Structure 1
Amino acid sequence: MLELDPAQLERMVSSFLWPFFRIASFFMAIPMIGSQMVPIRIRLGLAIAVVVLLLPVVPEMPLYDGLSFANVKVIGQQILIGAVMGFIVHVLFQVFALGAQITAMQMGLGFASTSDPANGVSVVILGQYYLMIVMMLFLASNAHLIMIEVMAESFALIPVGTPIAMDSFWKMALTGSWMFSGAMMIALPAVTALLVVNFAFGVMTRAAPQLNIFAIGFPFTMLMGLLIVWVSMSDLLGHYYNMTEFALEYLRGLMVTE
């Protein structure tokens, strides 16, 4: 008969409970897994499975001391750390969606929108197409396994109970600038090419005022935009690797303690 004294039971609960809060909040915030299409029970089950796999490699956890205020504070810290890690991955995906939206607005496809079932919002069709490609690249490159590895490293860089440095919150706020700059890097070739096309139509309008520029320019701009997007798809993989590498380094840079 298995007999456990209260000290052993408390140690077992602590070794499982503290990583669970961080990992579960990460799976609630990460794209694909944390979307509305995945039931909460599946996310919780996946979090429990990952916790069981990481138990042999994570450092020793502090003892659980009931529902004290100190424990509530530590639980909040773990949820915040996991949510921040999932938020960085979400920003990585939105870089490509925003770049596609800027391109679509320039080529005249900004009105063509569809409902995103994962997030429950209306997005541009070109942005949804880019999101699907990035999701497939994310899974094909085993980036989800790399994120689990980074999650395991986070317990050594930010031990349970250690407060996060205030600089990390400032860096997290600056992810908005990284998202817009990355989106402009993706959309800049197409936007520049379409600007040249619009400039050429402006010259044609000045040379021949009787020409109906709206009847000719709009479909031609859309056709050239689709052609430019097709040509620029060859560089999407390079952009994905650069953005993913930067996101991982950025994520590791956030894991700083006071």
Structure 2
Amino acid sequence: MISLIPLESVPAFLLILVRVTSFFVTVPIFSYRNIPSFFKIGFGFFLAWMMYYTIDIPVIPLDEIFLLLLLKEAAVGLLIGLIAFIILSAIQIAGGFIDYQMGFAIANVIDPQTGAQSPLMGQYLYTIALLFLLAVNAHYLLIDGIFYSYQFIEIDRFVPFENESIVTFVMSTFNKMFVIAFQMAIPVVGSLFLVDVALGIIARTVPQLNVFVVGLPLKILVGFVILFVSMAIYIMLVRNLFDLLLQTMRGLMQLFGGV
């Protein structure tokens, strides 16, 4: 028999449900638009149902404090998923750097997660990264992240959002995102910079050669060759990036919990 939730515990279950479903709104993989909303809501409901029986649930009355707790749970779920999305966005930013050097900056594709235009190579590298994360069952670790968030952020406690350390942590996460994106793009960008230097020297020594006609296909060819050669390095960087993602989520939850 499937045990039902006691009536006095329904507010606590609603708080769990709000945090889980808010987490699925922004976290990578689960927040994709091509995943049906009914699936997200249903998966969040059953996950919240299982979590209800595995964490300590206090009795929460239905009063004005409950409404504030609902807002707190929604903000916590959104921010934890958003910090994970920010870290993985480094891949698309690196692809934007590569596109600008290869001449693909004018060609964009639609990102299925946000519905906005994204760089061509950025979406290509991002798709490879997501396939790698799914292959190593990294999406289970994302679900573990929202499950273990209750060890740091209790369901009946408020979060000190006005804490300056939280703002500093988010700003440092942005800085890390751009540094990682630059590190991922530097093999291709650096090689194409050398190609530009070589084309500039050729243009000065052989004025009869139209470098504008030769340069674009040459840079595309060199860019693809460097990407093919350095693909193993990208997979290693994606693995390290996901480790950083989990550490960032844990650090944010510790700040939310006042640890």
Compute the TM-score of the two structures, normalised by the length of structure 1: 0.90
Q: 1:239 deviation in Å?
A: 0.4
1:211 aligns with 2:206: no
Q: Which runs of 4+ in 1 moved over 6 A?
A: none
What's the CA shift for 1:115? 2.1
1:77 counterpart letter in structure 2 = K
Measured after TM superposition, the shift of residue 100 of structure 1 is 1.1
Q: Which amino acid aligns with 1:174?
A: S
What is the identity percentage for the equivalent residue pairs of Structure 1 and Structure 2?
Answer: 27
Shift of 1:183: 0.5
- Whole-Å Cα distance in 2 between the matches of residues 119 and 17 of structure 1? 27
Q: Deviations over 1:167-204 (max 9, x none)?
A: 22431243221211111010011111111111111111
Please say if 1:87 is aligned against 2:82.
Answer: yes
TM-score by structure 2 length?
Answer: 0.90
Equivalences, count: 249
Contact 2:84 2:248 in 1 (8 A): no
Structure-to-structure mapping, 1:89-128, within 5 angstroms:
89-128=84-123
Match of 1:223 in 2: 221
- In the alignment, structure 1 residue 232 sits paired with structure 2 residue 230: yes
- Structure 2 counterpart of 1:71: 66
| 34-43 or 101-110, which deviates more | 34-43
Alignment counterpart, residue 131 of structure 1, candidates 116, 126, 130? 126
Question: Unaligned regions of 5+ residues in structure 1, if any?
Answer: none
- Secondary structure, aligned partner of 2:230: helix
Letter in 1 for 2:205: A
Deviations 1:206-254 (CA, angstroms, capped at 9, x unpaired)? 1122221101111111111111111111111110111111111111111
For 1:123, give the aligned amino acid.
S
Q: Which residue of 2 aligns with 1:35?
A: 32
Q: CA RMSD in A?
A: 1.7
Q: Aligned letter for 1:89? A: A
Query: What is the CA-CA distance between 1:39 and the residue it aligns to?
Result: 2.5
Question: In structure 1, what is the equivalent of residue 182 of structure 2?
Answer: 184
One of 51, 56, 61 as aligned partner of 1:59: 56
Helix, strand or coil for the counterpart of 1:114?
strand
Of 179-188 and 164-173, more deviation after overlay is shown by 164-173
State the 1:76 CA deviation. 1.0
Deviation string for 1:102-150 (max 9, x for gaps)?
1111111112222223321122221111121111112111111111112
Query: How far apart, CA to CA, are the structure 2 residues paired with 1:38 and 1:150?
Result: 20
Give the structure 2 partner of residue 147 of structure 1.
Answer: 142
CA contact (8 A) 1:24 1:47 kept: yes
Letter in 1 for 2:39: I
